[in-house]
Amino acid sequence: MNTIQTLPGDIELRISSEPVPYREALAEMTERNAAIAAGEARELIWFLEHPPVYTAGTSAAVSDLLDPRFEVVEAGRGGRYTYHGPGQRVVYVLLDLRKRARDARGFVHALEGWVIDTLTDFGVEGFRSEGRIGIWTSDIDGREAKIGAIGVRIRKWVTMHGFAVNIHPDLTHFTGIVPCGIEEFGVTSLKRLNKDAEFDVWDKALLARADAFLGALETRCPKETPA
């Protein structure tokens, strides 16, 4: 079941209450991306959850697939292997950058900022780390760990894919892969950090910062950005 709303700029906001199989979501994203590029559909921001799946980006190395206990799907986005599953909030962002600053790097930077700013509402300090894609934080042992994954594709200046934030997933499911090809760092979640939240609470906090995210896309990203 989907809840459909409209964000400023006539952007469709879709919130799926039931898990959506990854292949099904990928097919719909691909079709919608092409329709937006052709001027035949509205832009879309889609909140959802997937059944357990490992997705392979365009840079995925077979050696990073340690235990394919779940379905493995080639995603077509940038990056390496990523896990999606219950307890993880996935947000797909399909926007026409022709209406905004045509800046792929700035788009990724804005996505990261959207997640980082929202994490502060839950008492979690997220940050970027140079050379490591994703959103990072300090884990309960003080080591850096990934709490959010970023993976995007841009076709004809229309974006697809987006980000995933670990709210309360089963973190053992990540052990079947080397997440994003980075062996020396682990993954964490709001629950592991004792900041657990239901999806509706996380969604509300994220949407409260949607205007700032969209506003950030109006200008090109500075050449130098802090990690």
Binding residues for substrate: 77-84, 149-151, 162-164
CB 214 within 8 A of CB 113: no
The C-alpha atoms of residue 97 and residue 120 are separated, in whole angstroms, by 27
| Burial category of 14 from C-beta neighbours within 10 Å (exposed 0-12, middle 13-18, buried 19 and up) | middle
The C-alpha atoms of residue 149 and residue 147 are separated, in whole angstroms, by 7
| 221 is known as an active-site residue | no
Q: Measure CA 153 to chain center.
A: 12
CB 29 within 8 A of CB 95: no
The token duo for 14 is: 């879709």
Binding site: which residues?
A: 77-84, 149-151, 162-164
Active-site residue (options: 11, 158, 180, 193)? 180
The C-alpha atoms of residue 32 and residue 30 are separated, in whole angstroms, by 6
Looking at the chain, list the stretches that DSSP marks H as alpha helix, in order from N- to C-terminal side: 22-37, 104-120, 199-208, 210-216
Residues 6 or more apart whose Cβ sits within 8 Å of residue 97: 103, 104, 107, 154, 157, 158, 159, 217
The token duo for 55 is: 């997705």
Report, as residue numbers or ranges, the catalytic residues: 180
